[in-house]
């Protein structure tokens, strides 16, 4: 049974979802969180739709055992391929990261109705951002580009490295020309926001979905009457593989000490 004391589950293939977790903790400081990173199977961006759905369902079953009241799918690729399945099969609310980002982009003041999307191969290939944007605003012009090197650069800690800046120029210098807004369609990309903004230019609105996701989560909990009444919440971290490596790399995202527990793959089934 979902109660005010029930935790919120946050799921990603690895650690990119920590940008979403940070936004959630700022917006919902009294909530308890459980973060699960499926590090045994990352990256999701190059996986098939069936594989991603299978992994996401395993994570959801783990959260079900933990009696969460809300699952935030803090991964664009999993939001593309697994969100509908999770909503149909799980006893708790499930929130993805794509629709909040689309809404934010469409709410920004525009001059050319031109929106760009960058993400993993899987997210871009799905065409989901284009479809949702055009459903909500048919006059929009949408273009998308996969930027697969951004994820390993972030996880290497090279968020302001000259190599990263050069890669950003190669990906975005021509692509960002004429855009009103650029949606960061991968949860790793906010850590490169400064680099991306420098290439895209001051006239391009950079859309980071994390804040919008956090605000939507707050709205869902308040409407359901399950928002925590506490002042300070907690967070527990779980991964499916290599907890020490996750802890070392996650320090890029988190400015605090934390413990990480490994969950055996069979435990999530």
The residues carrying an active-site annotation are 75, 186
* Cα–Cα distance measured from residue 97 to residue 184, given in angstroms and rounded to the nearest whole number: 11
* Cα–Cα distance measured from residue 159 to residue 168, given in angstroms and rounded to the nearest whole number: 11
Nearest to 144 by CA among 167, 166, 172, 165: 172
Are 10 and 17 contacting, i.e. CB atoms less than 8 angstroms apart?
yes
Nearest to 22 by CA among 160, 181, 268, 191: 191
- Residue 41 gets which letter from DSSP? S
* Cα–Cα distance measured from residue 77 to residue 44, given in angstroms and rounded to the nearest whole number: 6
SS3 string, 82-133, reads: HHHHHHHHCCCEEECCHHHHHHHHHHCCCCCCEEEEEECHHHHHHCHHHHHH
Nearest to 110 by CA among 187, 194, 49, 179: 179
Angle among Cα 263, 98, 105 to the nearest 5 degrees reads: 145
* Cα–Cα distance measured from residue 27 to residue 31, given in angstroms and rounded to the nearest whole number: 9
Q: Per the structure block, which two tokens stand in for 233? A: 């919440």
Nearest to 258 by CA among 1, 5, 25: 25
Are 81 and 145 contacting, i.e. CB atoms less than 8 angstroms apart?
no
């Amino acid at each position: 049974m979902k109660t005010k004391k029930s935790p919120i589950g946050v799921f990603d293939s690895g650690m990119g979802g920590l940008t979403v977790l940070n936004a959630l903790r700022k917006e919902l400081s009294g909530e308890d969180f459980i973060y699960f990173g499926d590090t045994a199977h990352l990256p999701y961006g190059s996986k098939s739709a069936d594989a991603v759905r299978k992994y996401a369902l395993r994570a959801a079953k783990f959260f079900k055992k933990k009696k969460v009241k809300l699952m935030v799918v803090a991964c664009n690729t999993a939001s593309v391929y697994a969100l509908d399945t999770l909503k149909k099969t799980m006893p708790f609310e499930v929130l993805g990261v794509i629709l909040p980002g689309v809404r934010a982009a469409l709410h920004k003041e525009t001059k050319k109705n031109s929106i760009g999307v960058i993400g993993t191969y899987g997210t871009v290939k799905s065409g989901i951002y284009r479809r949702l944007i055009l459903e909500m605003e048919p006059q929009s012009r949408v273009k998308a580009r996969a930027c697969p090197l951004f994820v390993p650069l972030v996880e290497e800690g090279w968020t302001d490295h000259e190599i990263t800046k050069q890669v950003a120029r190669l990906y975005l210098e021509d692509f960002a020309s004429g855009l009103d807004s650029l949606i960061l369609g991968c949860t790793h990309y906010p850590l490169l926001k400064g680099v991306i903004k420098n290439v895209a230019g001051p006239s391009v609105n950079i859309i980071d979905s994390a804040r919008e996701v956090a605000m939507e989560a707050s709205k869902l909990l308040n409407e359901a009457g399950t928002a925590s009444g506490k002042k300070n919440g907690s967070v527990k971290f779980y991964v499916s593989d290599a907890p020490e490596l996750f802890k070392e790399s996650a320090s890029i995202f988190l400015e605090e000490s934390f413990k990480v527990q490994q969950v055996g793959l069979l435990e999530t089934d």
